[in-house]
Amino acid sequence: MAKYSSKINKIRTFALSLIFIGFIVMYVGIFFRTSPIIMTIFMILGLLFIIASTVVYFWIGMLSTKTIQVICPNCGKTTKMLGKVDMCMYCREPLTLDPKLEGKEFDEKYNKRSYNK
């Protein structure tokens, strides 16, 4: 169970790692300062990663508007849900909006379109 984390948190981690990759790429570029062309390529590449991360952060913002606020039955805190199945941001309690899935083991596949047909 613990291997699942809230979807928004996962995307946020991804965006954060993009920033780190961007900075690492730019840092590598400094080693090529004798060759301005290679250095520029690295700088642009690093900048692209940072732009990509901004896009992902923007996407998180968009997703956040689609989330449903629910009160976790386990810890009583207000958490956000994305999709039919998600988990509590605080205690990782699996949550579902679909009564059919209630009590079933948490599975990401319930969110896939093919399963819901």
> Amino acid identity, residue 82?
L
Q: Does 93 bind Zn ion (CB under 5 A)?
A: yes
Nearer Cβ to Zn ion (55/71): 71
| Binds Zn ion by CB under 5 A, chosen from 25, 72, 81, 85 | 72
Q: Does 90 bind Zn ion (CB under 5 A)?
A: yes
| Cβ-based burial of 41 (10 A; exposed 0-12, middle 13-18, buried ≥19) | middle
Buried b / exposed e along 73-101 (16+ C-beta atoms within 10 A) = eeeeeebbbbbbbbbbbeebbbbbeeeeb
| Binds Zn ion by CB under 5 A, chosen from 8, 74, 82, 101 | 74
Q: Does 91 bind Zn ion (CB under 5 A)?
A: yes
Residues that bind Zn ion (CB under 5 A): 72, 74-75, 88, 90-91, 93
